[in-house]
Structure 1
Amino acid sequence: MTSSLCPFAAATHAVDLIHNHLRQDTGVHRDQLPNGSPVWVVGGYEAVANLLADHRMSAAKSDSTTKFRGQNLPRALDMNLLNIDGEQHRRVRQLATAAFAPEHHTAHKRVVADAAKRLVADLPATGELDLMSGLCEPLPPRVIGTLLGIPKDKLGQFQTAARPMFAVDTSKEGDAIQGALGSMLMLVADAIGDKRQHPGGDMLSGWIAARDGEDRLSEEELISLAFATIIGGFENVTALTALVIDEAVRFRSAETRVAVDAADSGSLPKLVREIIGDVAPVNYALRRFPLEDIEVNGITIPRGETVILSLRSANTDPSRGARPDLAFGRGRHYCIGASLAETEAVEALRYAFLRWPRLRPMKERSALALRRSWLTYSLAELSVYAG
């Protein structure tokens, strides 16, 4: 029941080996997080998909019986959709989801396409390129910054504050995380203050109106919602976009060129969705706490103990068959920004191949540097030959 491979190894290309191992035996393993906290790690499609949708699995830390603390977020950042459940989660999610509703898709796509097109145009037409620094890294902040109404000259500060939160949990990096959280809190609070004085047609102004006009959000919920949107919209989407482009360049180049040139506007999104199912960067769903003792594959997990679900082991499970991937989760905590993230990957890939139809990788994937995180499989570089 104890995993022989560390499921929280960071910056390793052996990520599939680790998560494949989590499907072995019962698929339920007892382990420790890098900070020493005891956890249950669950692998395999059937178990992970069921637990993601199980109403008995709470995301609220108040339901932990082991005093789980996580990153010790300030309360003003802790009331986000990832950390709440029940009626509060339903209310906040309903409001937040409205900003990502299908009727906004066309407008969001224009923002994404414009940003991707500009970034690609600024890069050389031939030669060696790092599409991580040139495209994948700057694209998500530009998009989410535009949608939230954050001034361009502030985006770098938000990026700097966000990055340590995805690092390996060691004492040194833990200190960096706490400093970053303080910076993020001030940045978000300042952005909200500016929007109160100068509202616009952006998401943040809409959420402020809901807070101040209809009193549907507390101030802490408002700050936390903006915080989670920024965090989810920066690093995770950068990782996703880079892996999609890398996969397309390495293994599906001809297919991608056909989809980019196709008159059918659905060809490229369909291809990208397939790729995401294979290479989604998020290794684990956010921890859950059972509201009662639960049994998983014959193993009893006591009420309130910390459970980590391996999305990667589920997505790569041969028994998954044609069932939907879990790249963005499942159930009431399904990622509200999934459609936007997919659009960013689609448009980044589209404009990369329009600019450089013959993109080729410079290195084997196993030689590419990785970001130090066990939460995501995230490239630190995306070296290609353009031309």
Structure 2
Amino acid sequence: MTSSLCPFAAATHAVDLIHNHLRQDTGVHRDQLPDGSPVWVVGGYEAVANLLADHRMSAAKSDSTTKFRGQNLPRALDMNLLNIDGEQHRRVRQLATAAFAPEHHTAHKRVVADAAKRLVADLPATGELDLMSGLCEPLPPRVIGTLLGIPKDKLGQFQTAARPMFAVDTSKEGDAIQGALGSMLMLVADAIGDKRQHPGGDMLSGWIAARDGEDRLSEEELISLAFATIIGGFENVTALTALVIDEAVRFRSAETPVAVDAADSGSLPKLVREIIGDVAPVNYALRRFPLEDIEVNGITIPRGETVILSLRSANTDPSRGARPDLAFGRGRHYCIGASLAETEAVEALRYAFLRWPRLRPMKERSALALRRSWLTYSLAELSVYAG
């Protein structure tokens, strides 16, 4: 049951090989996280999809029987949607989801389109372009910052504080992680304090009203909600947008190029959705803890032990067929910002193709540098040529 390939290898282009291997045998493997913590790793569409939606699989670290601590967040950041479950999760998620509801999608798209258009306009018209530093990295902070109501002059500090939290091995990056967490806690608390004095029509002001007016959020839940929105909306969306652009540029540059009309409001979102299903950057869902002994493909996983679900092995599973991809998860922990993330990828691609109709890749993808993470398959560079 032990995988012969390291499932937590970082900065490798061999992610499909690793995750396809996780489907072998029973699809249930015993291994260790980089910090030495024992885990069960589960692969394959059927098992992963079922466990994501299983009410017996908790995201709350308090349900761990092996003293799992993860990044050991301070309580004011730890009470976020990724780390709570049950009635508390339902209450906080209901409040959070309202800010991402369909009635806000048009307004969100305007924010995203404006940010993408401005970033693209600031880059050279021809020659070699770095779309990572020029577009993919700055876009998510601008979007989330605007929607949350964070002052523009603070966004760089938020982005700097968020980055170490995606370290491949938090046990070896302790000082950097703890420093980043302290900075993030101060930044979020300051932003909330500012919004209490100067409320607006942004997400933070709405959540503060729920906390201070209706008392439906604790102060820790409020801070943690803002924290999770920032973390989820920065690095993961950067990785997603970069892969979508890289894949689409390669489509166009292939011997049999795929026609992509950047001005067509219908075809581009469809293409991006298909690309996300194929190359979504998140390798694993957040760890889960069974609330009772559970059986997966004939293997019993004891209550409270750490379970890591391979989203990549599920999405690339031939047996998936026409069933939905699991790029943004499934069930009660499905990513509430999925629609916004897709919109960012669509608009970034749209304005890139409108500005540079003849983009070409500078390197094979296998030659591109990667960020050091096992959680995501994330490009560290995106050099293209605009002829």
TMscore range, shorter length: over 0.9
Deviation at 1:167, TM superposition (A): 1.0
Identity %: 99
String of CA shifts for 1:162-202, please: whole Å, max 9, x gaps: 00111111544232111101110000000000000000000
Rounded to whole Å, the distance in 2 between the matches of 1:332 and 1:362 is: 41
Deviation at 1:266, TM superposition (A): 1.8
Residues 99, 170 of structure 1: alpha-carbon distance in 2 compared, 3 angstrom cutoff: closer
- What is the TM-score of this pair, normalised by structure 1? 0.98
Unaligned runs of 5+ in 2: none
> Which residue of 1 is the match for residue 291 of structure 2?
291
Conserved? CA contact 1:47–1:296, under 8 Å: yes
String of CA shifts for 1:198-224, please: whole Å, max 9, x gaps: 000000000000000000000000000
Rounded to whole Å, the distance in 2 between the matches of 1:16 and 1:105 is: 33
String of CA shifts for 1:95-148, please: whole Å, max 9, x gaps: 000000000000000000000000000000000011000000000000000000
Rounded to whole Å, the distance in 2 between the matches of 1:111 and 1:258 is: 28
Residues 263, 11 of structure 1: alpha-carbon distance in 2 compared, 3 angstrom cutoff: closer
Rounded to whole Å, the distance in 2 between the matches of 1:59 and 1:66 is: 14
String of CA shifts for 1:320-353, please: whole Å, max 9, x gaps: 0100000000000000000000000000000000
* SS of 1:256 mapped into structure 2: coil
Conserved? CA contact 1:260–1:354, under 8 Å: no
> Which residue of 2 is the match for residue 115 of structure 1?
115
Rounded to whole Å, the distance in 1 between the matches of 2:252 and 2:102 is: 29
Rounded to whole Å, the distance in 2 between the matches of 1:201 and 1:259 is: 40
Deviation at 1:366, TM superposition (A): 0.7
Residues 66, 124 of structure 1: alpha-carbon distance in 2 compared, 3 angstrom cutoff: same
Deviation at 1:256, TM superposition (A): 13
* SS of 2:244 mapped into structure 1: helix
Rounded to whole Å, the distance in 2 between the matches of 1:170 and 1:296 is: 29
Conserved? CA contact 1:256–1:271, under 8 Å: no
Rounded to whole Å, the distance in 2 between the matches of 1:110 and 1:256 is: 34
* SS of 2:39 mapped into structure 1: strand
Rounded to whole Å, the distance in 2 between the matches of 1:262 and 1:233 is: 24
More off after superposition, 174-183 vs 126-135? 174-183
* SS of 2:257 mapped into structure 1: helix
Deviation at 1:254, TM superposition (A): 8.3
Deviation at 1:261, TM superposition (A): 3.2
Residues 135, 361 of structure 1: alpha-carbon distance in 2 compared, 3 angstrom cutoff: same
- What is the TM-score of this pair, normalised by structure 2? 0.98
Conserved? CA contact 2:289–2:303, under 8 Å: yes
> Which residue of 2 is the match for residue 223 of structure 1?
223
Deviation at 1:161, TM superposition (A): 0.4
Rounded to whole Å, the distance in 1 between the matches of 2:241 and 2:367 is: 19
Deviation at 1:252, TM superposition (A): 4.5
Residues 203, 256 of structure 1: alpha-carbon distance in 2 compared, 3 angstrom cutoff: farther
Residues 170, 162 of structure 1: alpha-carbon distance in 2 compared, 3 angstrom cutoff: closer
Deviation at 1:251, TM superposition (A): 2.3
Deviation at 1:48, TM superposition (A): 0.2
Conserved? CA contact 2:263–2:350, under 8 Å: no
Rounded to whole Å, the distance in 2 between the matches of 1:170 and 1:320 is: 33
Matched residue count: 387
String of CA shifts for 1:26-62, please: whole Å, max 9, x gaps: 0000000000000000000000000000000000011
* SS of 1:371 mapped into structure 2: coil
More off after superposition, 282-291 vs 162-171? 162-171
Deviation at 1:260, TM superposition (A): 5.4
Deviation at 1:267, TM superposition (A): 1.2
Rounded to whole Å, the distance in 2 between the matches of 1:124 and 1:186 is: 37
Residues 213, 257 of structure 1: alpha-carbon distance in 2 compared, 3 angstrom cutoff: farther
* SS of 2:305 mapped into structure 1: coil
Residues 312, 252 of structure 1: alpha-carbon distance in 2 compared, 3 angstrom cutoff: farther
Conserved? CA contact 1:256–1:268, under 8 Å: no
Conserved? CA contact 2:328–2:335, under 8 Å: yes
> Which residue of 2 is the match for residue 79 of structure 1?
79
Deviation at 1:156, TM superposition (A): 0.4
Could you say what the CA RMSD is over the residues aligned between the two structures, in angstroms? 1.5
Residues 255, 113 of structure 1: alpha-carbon distance in 2 compared, 3 angstrom cutoff: farther
Conserved? CA contact 1:207–1:222, under 8 Å: yes
